[in-house]
């Protein structure tokens, strides 16, 4: 199997486990999909395309991701809700032995406690990955969302 195909299969599996973790509310497991000093950033396409660095969530390293989850669990106040992610087949831009660059489209439906559901976020994951097979991790995951207007608040990672 060529490197790109291997990378695609590994990322497909990683994406599937990633969205399962978030959608089933096992948030404590979320930082484990990243390398220790990984970047996780949610940024609007508007900012991204203008070269503006501001993100909605901007974690530098797994420790900051853990803080996000602690705050979500114990500090922040919000109405109960969950996500359902739909992700596309990844497009592998480049696959080297030790690093992979890839993009995956996503849509997130947010389901509120009263049963109402809305298309909450859609866009692209722009990823840089290290490791192969089941050891693949995000060294960088940029969540670039197209619908720049965020409804009410964002507290669960995308």
Partner 1 sequence: MPTDGSNESGAVRWPRADNTRVPYHIFDDGEVHAREQARVFQGPCWQFVCLAQEVAGPGEWKNTFVGETPVVVVRDETGGLNAFENRCVHKGALVCLADRGRAEHFTCVYHNWTYDLAGRLKSVAFRRGVKGIGGMEDSFRLEDHRLRPLRVRELCGLVFATFDDDAGELEDYIGPEITARLRRVLNRPTRILGYHSQYLANNWKLYIENVKDTYHAGLLHLFFATFKLNRLASEGGVVVSECGGNHASYSRRRTIHADAEYDSSTLRAARDDYALADPRLLDSVDEFGDGINVQILTIFPNFVLQQVENSIAVRQVLPKGTEETELLWTVLGYEDDDEDMTEMRLRQANLIGPAGYVSLEDGAVGGFVQRGVKGAGDAASVIEMGGAGDASQESRVTEASVRGFWRAWRRMMGD
- Give the number of other Cβ atoms within 10 Å of residue 30's Cβ: 20
Name the residue nearer to partner 1 (CB basis): 26 or 60: 60
Query: Do residues 81 and 151 touch, judged by C-beta distance below 8 A?
Result: no
Name the residue nearer to partner 1 (CB basis): 38 or 100: 38
- Give the C-alpha distances (Å, rounded to integers) separating 94 from 10, 30, 38: 14, 25, 19
Main-chain dihedrals φ then ψ at residue 61, nearest 5 degrees:
100, 155
Q: How far is the CB of 95 from partner 1 (least distance, A)?
A: 30
Q: How far apart are CA 128 and CA 55, in angstroms?
A: 18
Q: How far apart are CA 37 and CA 33, in angstroms?
A: 12
Q: How far apart are CA 147 and CA 151, in angstroms?
A: 10
Q: How far apart are CA 61 and CA 18, in angstroms?
A: 17
Q: How far is the CB of 21 from partner 1 (least distance, A)?
A: 19
Q: How far is the CB of 37 from partner 1 (least distance, A)?
A: 11
Name the residue nearer to partner 1 (CB basis): 28 or 99: 28
Name the residue nearer to partner 1 (CB basis): 12 or 140: 140
Q: How far is the CB of 77 from partner 1 (least distance, A)?
A: 5
Name the residue nearer to partner 1 (CB basis): 9 or 64: 64
In the complex, the residues that contact partner 1 under the rule CB under 8 A are 42-44, 46-47, 50, 52-61, 63-64, 66-67, 70-71, 74-79, 148-155
Q: How far is the CB of 15 from partner 1 (least distance, A)?
A: 22
């Amino acid at each position: 199997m060529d490197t790109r195909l291997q990378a695609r299969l590994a990322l497909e599996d990683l994406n599937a486990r990633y969205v399962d973790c978030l959608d089933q509310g096992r948030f404590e497991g979320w930082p484990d999909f990243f390398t220790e000093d990984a970047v996780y950033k949610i940024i609007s396409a508007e900012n991204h395309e203008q070269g503006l660095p501001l993100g909605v969530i901007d974690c530098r390293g797994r420790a900051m991701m853990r803080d996000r989850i602690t705050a979500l669990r114990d500090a922040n106040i919000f109405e109960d809700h969950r996500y359902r992610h739909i992700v596309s087949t990844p497009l592998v831009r480049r696959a080297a032995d030790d690093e992979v660059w890839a993009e995956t489209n996503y849509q997130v439906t947010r389901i509120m406690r009263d049963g109402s559901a809305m298309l909450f976020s859609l866009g692209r994951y722009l990823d840089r990955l290290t490791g192969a097979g089941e050891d693949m991790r995000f060294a960088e995951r940029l969540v670039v969302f197209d619908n720049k207007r965020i409804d009410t608040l964002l507290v669960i990672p995308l």
